[in-house]
Each structure stands twice: as C-alpha cells, then as structure tokens.
C-alpha cells in the first residue's frame, strides 16, 4: 500500500472512531443515574427492551441514532430524539421497533421526536413492514408544544398513520411499558393488539392531578388507568403482563404465528462476499475532498464477487451506471465518478477531472438506466459524491437543465425501491438528481465523510462575502483585505458546521451515519423489507423534453 492509501485509511478510521464515541454517549440516553432509576422501578431501558425483543445474532439497522444531536441545548438536549428506532427480526419476521426512552425527559416528545416517529411509520407504510411500539412516554414536551402539537407533520399525524396502516393491513403491536398519556393514549387502541405491564404501565387521557383539577375527582393513577383497569374494566388492552420480559416474550409469540406477506419479487441468489477486501474502502476515500478517486474501486468492494456489468461504460462517464448484486440481491447502481478521465468528453477536452460533476450526457445515460431498472424490476442504489451539475455557457447551450430534469423525472417517478448512500459531497441539485431525502429513498445513510449542503463551505462563503462586501461598499464603508478575510472565515466556519453528516443526521435528513463496512447490510436489509411491498402501479415518467 502507498503512503496516500495509508493516510486515507488513518483518516477514515479516525472518523469512524469519533462516530462510535459519540454513539456510545448517545446510547446512555438521559444518563447513567436515570438508567439506574429505571432498574430500581423494575424496568428495562429502551435499548435493553429492543435487545430482548429482537432475535439473537441477526442483523439490525438503527434509524435516527443521531436525531436531535446537539439540538435543544437550552432544554438539556434530546439524545437520539428521545426514542430508539431499529429495523430487525422478531421470531424470524422483519419488523421496525419504536421504543420511547424514558430516561430523556420521561420519554416526552420534542419536535425531533415527532419527526423520527413519523419517519419510522413512513418506512413501515412504504414497505408494509410490521411495526412494534414499546410505549413509555409522558406525552408532548410542554415547553415546545407549539412546535410538536398542531401542524400536519406533528404529533397528531402519528394517529392518522395508525389508522392508515390498519386499513393497509400492516401489523401494529403496542406494548405499554410505562406512561401512555393524553393524545398518546390513542396509540394502543389504534394498534392491532395491545398489552400492558402491571404496576408500571398506565394509559389515560388525563392523569390524577388533572382529573382532580378538572372535575374534582380524587383517584390514583393505577386505579385510573393501570393494567387491571384496562384489561378487566375498560378493555383498552388485550394482555396483562407481570413485567417487561413477559411483555416482550408475548410479542415474540404473536410474531411467531404471523403468516408470510406477498412479495414484490425482487431477484435474489445466494450471497457471495466481494472478491476485493471491503476494508480497502478506508484507504480509497481521500483524506480531503479536493482529491480524486475511482468510484469503480468502491463499487468493486461493495458488490458480490466484485463483479458488475456496466451500462454504456464509455459514454457519459461522470456517472457510472451498472448492474450488480449486493448480498445476493440484484441491484442497479448509479454512482458519481470522481477521477480524471482521458479522451473526448462533453467539453471536448483531452483530459477532464469529473470531481463528481454531472454532465449532460451522464444525466441522459442515468435517466435511461433508471428507466431500464424499473422495466426489469431491479432496485436502485445511488452512491452520491457530487458537487452539482456542470455550469457555464457550453453546458447551458447544450441543454444541461433539460437533461438534468430528465434524470430527476426518471428517478422521482421510479416505482422500484431506491436506496441512497452519501459517500462524500451531496451538493445542490446533485443531491436531488441522485435521490436525496426529498425523493423518497427507502433508506438514506451517510458515511462519516458525507457532506450535505447547497454547496461547499468555501464556495458558499465566497458568494456570501461578495454580497456582503458589495452591500457595505454601497453604504460607503471601506473593506480592507483583512476585514474581508475575517468575514470569509466567519461565514465558512458556520457553513462548514451545517454541512457535516452529524448536522444532517440530527435533523433526520439522513437515517443513519454508518461505517462503510455496514453498507452491504443496510442495502440488503432495505431490499428485504421493500420486497414485502408488491409493486402495484406501472412506471410512467410523464412528460420529458428530449
């Protein structure tokens, strides 16, 4: 291995180590003292409940672990958005599990909590995936009620989705393992089956203090809405469980009897590991974003046998389109190219550095490839490392906007599932064309090297400084080079923070930040869940300018 490879490898391993250190802190939720308090109450933590529920030694993918990261400091933070969401297997059936973390403000709902819960339900609905709710929540976080309560994508949307999923025949199971209050009390009864843990679980629209204030009735919470009340009097819940373990075991027993779903029929053969060492990805991705690398080298370390069949290999080379298999699943890969390529290119240059820029011919090729994958019912995997579409008079006169629109149209109307891996840059319109969050990828994840923004920090700062300097000069102010440099650095620093994968993941623009070696697992589990949802409509891209 050369020195450059070793530098890249060291940088990637450092980024992964930093990510894992942050995750370990997030996994503590509200902190060790609050975890200890749960144990004193005879309760498991949210993550312990999920560990107990899921099948042992099976793969899992956590969604939104970084949700809320470095958000709400004035409220003490909200680690993981106060809720843990994991795709895994229960009694051999793939499910999505949503568990409130009672160590974070008693499981109260922050704005990001609502967004994360809605994302979990979106995944369940898109893929007809059974969803299991492990409820332990004090309800809406009152100091921020105006940001979580009344709007379309707020708290109430959860129960609308409960009803929609029920009509779709998607299995929903609710386990009340702690508080379940106010509007949240509708969730168990809107699920297919509900259970409650004796003495620790409770369900009511209003607790005893509010009841006393509202109607003057004196009653304790257990009598008002405990397990005995709801299993023997109200009939709200179906099963009474003595503790967390019995409750979770009952869910496993229910799932063990669930019949197989109709399948979409995506092609899968026996999985084969890549022939080339996956760990070499660490040394291939450059240690800085201004360096080139060959995306073929990445693809060959992600796909089975390191084999793929490239479509139009010598045309539109700033995007690679290729057929391959990942963990046995047939996939169509659309990937940005980052290397220098010799030969005649769209700009008629002898040598061209693509650097993740999308050219007209590449957009045209990718659009056609996406149409072909839809025709063949092959899931799509997007590997993003793009700075945007090519600009300038030559590109504009050549119709770059028209060709970009063609790509966006073909991708946006895709009926096969899409999965997006952000490897490096995800800037501007390239984020859209390569299936960014706005275009409904079934899962979207980033490597620790990912950056998501309208443009890079330096470019954005240059533009904003030019505007600011022009504004100040118009007011008659003199701008020295030193003042201009200070302004540039201030803007760039702020912008760079907003481009990090952690900023994106905290707001659930990304479902997860992953070690590159987790990519095959994430894609495979994603296609497996997508396979539970048959394709019911034809592929139609509408009007495309040619």
Tell me, what's the pLDDT at 351? 45
User: Which of the two residues, 493 and 87, has the higher pLDDT score?
Assistant: 87
What b/e sequence results for 38-72 when a residue is b if at least 16 CB atoms lie within 10 Å of its CB, and e otherwise? beeeebbbbbbbbebbbeeeebebbbbbbbbbebb
Bridge partner list, 351: 342
Give the span between the Cα atoms of 104 and 25, in whole angstroms: 13
Between β-strands 61-63 and 388-389, what pairing exists: parallel, antiparallel or unpaired?
unpaired
Q: Which two tokens stand for residue 131?
A: 């969803």
Mean pLDDT of the 172-197 span: 90
Q: How far is CA 128 from CA 43, 331, 426, 509, in A?
A: 31, 21, 29, 22
CB–CB of 382/398 below 8 Å? no
pLDDT at position 297: 97
How confident is the model at residue 495, as a pLDDT? 79
Task: Tell me how many degrees the CA angle 285-287-288 measures, rounded to the nearest 5.
Answer: 105
State the residue for tokens 């109709």: 262
Instruction: Express as a percent the part of the chain with pLDDT over 70.
Output: 95
pTM of structure:
0.92
The bridge status of strand 239-241 relative to strand 357-358 is: unpaired
Please report which confidence band the pLDDT of residue 206 belongs to, taking 50, 70 and 90 as the band edges: confident
Beta-carbon-side half-sphere exposure of residue 365 (alpha carbons within 13 Å): 23
The predicted structure's pLDDT at residue 119 = 98
> How many C-beta atoms lie closer than 10 Å to residue 417's C-beta?
25
pLDDT tens-digit profile of 114-147? Answer: 999 999 999 999 999 999 999 999 888 889 999 9
What confidence tier does 155 reach under pLDDT thresholds 50, 70, 90?
confident
Average pLDDT over residues 289-294: 89
The mean-pLDDT minimum among 12-16, 120-124, 209-213, 532-536 falls in: 209-213
Q: What span, in angstroms and rounded, lies between the C-alpha atoms of 246 and 240?
A: 9
Q: pLDDT at position 153, please? A: 87
- What token pair was written down for 255? 């799932």
Q: Are 156 and 140 in contact (CB under 8 A)?
A: no
Strand 357-358 with 380-386, pairing? unpaired
**Angle formed at CA 28 by CA 493 and CA 115, multiple of 5 degrees:** 65
- Give yes or no for residue 485 having a pLDDT over 90: no
Q: Return the residue matching tokens 């969803």.
A: 131
331 compared with 455, residue with greater pLDDT: 331
pLDDT value at position 369? 97
Residue 484 to residue 487: CA distance in whole angstroms:
5
Is the pLDDT at 26 greater than 50? The verdict is yes
Kindly state the average pLDDT of the residues 415-436: 94
Query: What pLDDT score does 348 carry?
Result: 46
pLDDT band with cut points at 50, 70 and 90 for residue 349: very low
What residues pair up with 385 in beta bridges, in sequence order? none
In angstroms, rounded to a whole number, what is the distance separating the alpha carbons of residues 536 and 264? 9
Cβ-based neighbour number of residue 282 at 10 Å: 22
**What is the spatial distance between Cα 448 and Cα 427, in angstroms, rounded to a whole number?**
16
Average confidence score pLDDT of the chain:
91
Q: What is the mean pLDDT of residues 32-52?
A: 96
Which token pair is 350?
């002898």
Encode pLDDT of 207-250 as tens digits.
787 888 889 888 888 889 899 999 999 999 999 999 999 999 99
> What is the percentage of the chain residues whose pLDDT exceeds 90?
71
Rounded CA-CA distance 12/4 in Å is 12
Structure tokens at 421: 């891996």
Q: Is the pLDDT of residue 316 over 80?
A: yes
């Amino acid at each position: 291995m050369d020195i450059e490879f070793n530098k890249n490898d060291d940088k990637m391993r450092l980024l992964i180590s930093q990510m894992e250190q942050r995750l370990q802190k997030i996994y503590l939720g509200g902190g060790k003292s609050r975890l200890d308090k749960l144990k004193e109450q005879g309760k498991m933590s949210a993550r312990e409940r999920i560990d107990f529920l899921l099948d042992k030694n099976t793969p899992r993918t956590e969604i939104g672990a970084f949700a809320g990261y470095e958000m709400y400091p004035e409220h003490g933070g909200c680690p993981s958005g106060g809720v843990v969401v994991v795709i895994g297997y229960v009694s051999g059936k793939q499910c999505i599990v949503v568990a409130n973390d009672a160590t974070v403000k008693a499981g109260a709902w922050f704005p990001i909590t609502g967004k994360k819960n809605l994302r979990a339900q979106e995944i369940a609905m898109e893929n007809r995936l059974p969803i299991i709710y492990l409820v332990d929540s004090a309800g809406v976080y009152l100091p921020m009620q105006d940001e979580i309560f009344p709007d379309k994508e707020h708290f109430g949307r959860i129960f609308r989705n409960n009803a929609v999923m029920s009509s779709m025949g998607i299995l929903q199971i609710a386990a009340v393992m702690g508080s379940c209050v106010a509007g949240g009390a509708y969730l168990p009864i809107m699920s297919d089956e509900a259970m409650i843990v004796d003495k620790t679980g409770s369900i009511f629209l209003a607790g005893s203090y509010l009841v006393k204030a509202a109607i003057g009735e004196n009653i304790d919470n257990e009598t008002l809405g405990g397990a005995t009340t709801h299993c023997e009097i109200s009939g709200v819940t179906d099963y009474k469980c003595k503790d967390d373990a019995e409750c979770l075991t009952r869910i496993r027993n229910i799932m063990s009897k669930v019949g197989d779903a109709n399948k979409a029929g995506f092609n899968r053969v026996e999985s084969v590991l890549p022939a080339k060492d996956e760990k070499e990805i660490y040394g291939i991705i450059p240690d800085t974003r201004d360096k080139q690398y060959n995306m073929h080298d990445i693809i060959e370390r992600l796909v089975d046998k390191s084999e793929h069949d490239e479509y139009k290999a010598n045309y539109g080379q700033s995007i690679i389109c290729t057929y391959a298999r990942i963990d046995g699943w047939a996939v169509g890969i659309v990937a940005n190219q980052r290397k220098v390529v010799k030969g005649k290119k769209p700009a008629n240059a002898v040598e061209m550095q693509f650097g993740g820029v999308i050219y007209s011919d590449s957009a045209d090729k990718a659009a056609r490839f996406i149409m072909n994958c839809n025709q063949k019912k092959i899931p799509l995997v997007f590997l993003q490392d793009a700075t945007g579409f090519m600009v300038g008079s030559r590109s504009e006169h050549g119709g770059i906007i028209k060709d970009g629109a063609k790509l966006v149209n073909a991708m946006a109307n895709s009926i096969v599932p899409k999965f997006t891996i952000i490897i490096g840059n995800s800037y501007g319109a390239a984020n859209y064309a390569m299936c960014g969050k706005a275009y409904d990828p079934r899962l979207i994840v980033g490597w620790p090297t990912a950056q998501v923004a309208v443009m890079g920090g330096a470019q954005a700062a240059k533009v904003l400084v030019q505007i600011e300097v022009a504004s100040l000069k118009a007011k008659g102010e003199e701008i020295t080079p030193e003042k201009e440099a200070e302004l540039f650095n201030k803007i760039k620093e702020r912008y760079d923070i907003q481009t990090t994968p952690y900023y994106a993941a905290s707001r659930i623009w990304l479902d997860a930040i992953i070690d590159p070696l987790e990519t095959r697992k994430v894609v495979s589990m994603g296609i497996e869940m997508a396979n539970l949802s048959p394709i019911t409509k034809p592929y139609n891209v509408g009007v495309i300018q040619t």
